[in-house]
A and B are shown apart, each in its own frame.
Chain A
Amino acid sequence: MGTSHLPMKNLLRRPGRTAALVLLTALLAASVFGGSVVVGSLRSGLESLQARLGADIIVMPAEAESKVSFKNMLLQGTTGAFYMDASVLDEVRAAQGVEIAAPQTFLASLKADCCAIKVQIIGIDPDADFTVKPWIDESYSQDLGDMEVAVGCNVTAGVGETLKIYEQYTHVVAKLAETGTGLDTAVYCNMDTMKKLLAAAEAKGVSHKITSGSDVISAVYVKVKDGADVGRVNNWLNGHIRKVTAVRARSMFTDVSDSLAGISRAAWALIGAVWALALVILLVTFAMMIHERRREFAVLRLLGVSRRGLRGEILMETALCGLAGALVGVGVAALGVFPFTTLIETKLGLPYLTPAVGALLKLAGGTILATLLVELLAGTWAAARLSRTDPGTTLREGA
C-alpha cells in the first residue's frame, strides 16, 4: 500500500510541530557534535604538543621555572628567555642512557622599534634537533640558512616576507602547520642566526643575563635509549650537572592531562545529561503526538493501512525529523565552535587543535547516525504503543 507520500505531507503541513521536533533533535546533535569537537580538539592539542616535544627529559637552567613558566611558553606562547652555558649540552650527552640531546636557545623579541612583532624566537641545531626539525621538514625541505626563519602558523608574516628582529632582517622561508599550542606563535631559526640575534639584542640594551663571549643555550631536549629508565637518567642529570633542572616531559604535562581529563569528563557528563533529558523529552513528545493523532492513525487503519504500514509511516516521519534535526544541530554546533577556536583556546589555557577534516566528517556522520538511532528508538516505542490499540476502540472514543 502506498503511504510514502504521507510522512512528508504531514511534516510540511504541520510546520509548528515539525519545527519543535527538529529543534529538539538539533539540540541533541549540537550537544554531542560541539562537545566532541571541543574535547577532541583538546586531545589533539595535547597529542600534538607531546609529539612536537617528543622528548623524554628537558634540561633547563635551575632558575628557569621561577623566571618564566616553561609550560606556559609551550602552551600559550608566553615569551621568555633563560640561559645556561652551552657546555651543559656535552655533559648531558655524556650521561649514561642518553641517546640524543638537542639544544634550543630562546629569545623574546619586543614589540617596539626594534622588532616587527613580539614573539618567542627559538634557535635549534638542525643536525641534532628531533623535536622542531621534523615539524619544519613538513613545510620546508631544506635546512634553515643564515638569517632564515620558519614561523608558526599564528605569526603574522608570510613566506617571502622579511621580519625585523632587533634591527636584524630575517627572511621567512616557511610557515609551519598548526599545533594548537604556543609553538604556533614562535619563530624558529638555526643557532648561527640565533647568535646574531642575541648579540643584536644585547646591543639594543636588552638584558638577558647573557655572559658575553660565551655560547649559551636555554634548554636541552633529551631522548633516552631504548630500555633505559627515564627516571634514573633524569635523577642522574639532576644529581651530576650543576645549576640545571632536569624535568621529565611527561610530568610537565601531567596537570595539563589532568585538566583535559577533567574537562572531558565534565563535557561527556553534560552531553550524557542532555541526551538523557532529550531522550525523555522525545519519548514524552512522541507519546503526546501519537495520542493527539491516534484518531488520524485509526482512520488510516480504517482506510486499509496495515499495522506494519502505519509503523513505517511513523518511523519515516521520525527519520525525516531526525535527519533534519541532526543536520541542523551539526551545522549550528559547527558555526558555534569553529569560528571561536582561538577564544576557546585562550579561555581554557590548554593546547587546542581542531581535528582534521576527515576526522570531523566521521564525527559529524557518527553524530547524525546516533541522533537518528535515538529518534527512531523513540518512534519505535511510540509506534509499538499505537499498534496495541484497536482502531475500532479509538474511533469510538473520539466520536
Chain B
Amino acid sequence: MLHAENLSMRYFRKTGQANHFHAVKDVSLALRPGEVALLTGRSGSGKTTLLHMLAGLLTPTEGRVRLDDTDLYALPDAALSRLRNAKLGVIPQGRSAVDTLTVLENVLLPQQLRGEKGDAKGALRWLEALGIANLRDARPAELSGGELRRMAIARALAGNPEVVLADEPTGDLDDENTAAVLSLLRKAAVEEGKTVLLVTHDSEALPYGDRIYRMESGALSAQSEE
C-alpha cells in the first residue's frame, strides 16, 4: 500500500509579495493494491506535484510517503532509485522517451537498468496490447504524441511494478485508444493486484476508478468511492 501522510510542497520564491507558493497542502491518502484511484482537479491544483512526490521524484517540504513500511524519503538516493525501478511504474506527462533508443529498447530499459537482459516477448505483448507493436524498431522521433504516450505506458507495465502512477495517461489519445489504455490499467489493478493512481482531466476515466480524489488549490477537497 502507498501512503501519503500530511504531504506538503512549498516552492520558495525570491521575488513577489509572498515568499513561497504552497503547491500541495497537507495531503494524506492511501492507495490500495487491486484498486484504481483517480486524482482529478483543475490545472495547477497540485496533482502532478503530488504524483511526483508519491513517485519519490520530488522531496516534500513536509510529510512523508510510505510504500508498505518503507519511508521513501528516508532512503538514500541509490536505494530510493532501486525501489523506484523495482516497484514503481511512473508514466509522466509529455514526452518521456530516451530518444537514442528504439521503442522496444525504451520499453525494456527499466528491466535492463536493474541488470536484467529484459523480457522482450513480454514487452512485445504490452506493445501489441497498446497497438504499437509494429513500431518496435522505430525511434521516438518518428512517433506521434499518442504513440509516445502508449510507449510510456507499455514501459511502466513491462517493468512489472507494484504501483503504477500515471499522469494524464490518455492526454494525447483518441477515444478508442483512451478506452483501451484505461481498460489495460484497470486490468492491471484488478487481475494483477497492482496499485494504480491516474491523474486525469478526462471524464471518460471516471468509470474505471474505484476511488476518486479531487484536488483544489493544493489540497484534497473531496474523496469518493465508486
Tell me the A residues contacting B by CB distance below 8 Å: 1-3, 5-6, 9-10, 13-14, 295-296, 299-309, 390-393, 395-396, 398-399
Alpha-carbon distance between A14 and B90 when the two chains are bound, in angstroms? 26
Which residues of B (31-57) have their CB < 8 Å from a CB of A?
A: 48-49, 52-53, 55, 57
Contact of B90 among A10, A302, A306 (CB under 8 A): A302
A14 partner residues in chain B, CB cutoff 8 A: 100
A399 partner residues in chain B, CB cutoff 8 A: 48, 92-94, 167
B110 within 8 A of A: yes
Contact B77 A306 (CB under 8 A): yes
Other CB < 8 Å A-B pairs besides A1-B113, A6-B100, A302-B90, 6 of them? A1-B82, A295-B95, A302-B84, A303-B155, A304-B114, A395-B52
> Smallest distance from the beta carbon of B21 to chain A beta carbons, Å?
13
> Smallest distance from the beta carbon of A393 to chain B beta carbons, Å?
7
B112 partner residues in chain A, CB cutoff 8 A: 2, 5
Which of A5, A299, A307, A309 has most B Cβ within 10 Å?
A: A299
B101 within 8 A of A: yes
Contact B96 A299 (CB under 8 A): yes
Which of A3, A295, A302, A306 has most B Cβ within 10 Å?
A: A302
Contact A398 B82 (CB under 8 A): no
Contact B84 A304 (CB under 8 A): yes
B167 partner residues in chain A, CB cutoff 8 A: 399
B94 to A, closest residue via Cβ: A399
Please, could you name 21 A-B residue pairs with CB atoms under 8 Å apart, sorted by A? Answer: A1-B113, A2-B115, A6-B98, A13-B100, A13-B139, A14-B100, A296-B98, A299-B98, A302-B90, A302-B92, A303-B85, A304-B110, A307-B77, A392-B49, A395-B52, A395-B94, A395-B96, A396-B52, A398-B94, A398-B95, A399-B94
A307 partner residues in chain B, CB cutoff 8 A: 77, 81
B96 partner residues in chain A, CB cutoff 8 A: 295, 299, 302, 395
> Smallest distance from the beta carbon of A166 to chain B beta carbons, Å?
74
A397 to B, closest residue via Cβ: B94
Contact B92 A299 (CB under 8 A): yes
Contact A299 B58 (CB under 8 A): no
Contact A304 B100 (CB under 8 A): no
Known A1-B115, A296-B99, A305-B113; contact A395-B92, beta-carbon cutoff 8 A: yes
A3 to B, closest residue via Cβ: B113
5 shortest interchain CB distances as A-B pairs: A304-B85, A392-B58, A392-B52, A399-B94, A399-B93
B109 partner residues in chain A, CB cutoff 8 A: 303
Alpha-carbon distance between A301 and B82 when the two chains are bound, in angstroms? 10
Alpha-carbon distance between A303 and B55 when the two chains are bound, in angstroms? 10
B76 to A, closest residue via Cβ: A306
B160 within 8 A of A: no
Which residues of B (78-112) have their CB < 8 Å from a CB of A?
A: 78, 81-82, 84-86, 90, 92-101, 105, 109-110, 112
Contact of B100 among A9, A301, A308, A390 (CB under 8 A): A9
> Smallest distance from the beta carbon of B157 to chain A beta carbons, Å?
13
> Smallest distance from the beta carbon of A2 to chain B beta carbons, Å?
5
Contact B92 A305 (CB under 8 A): no
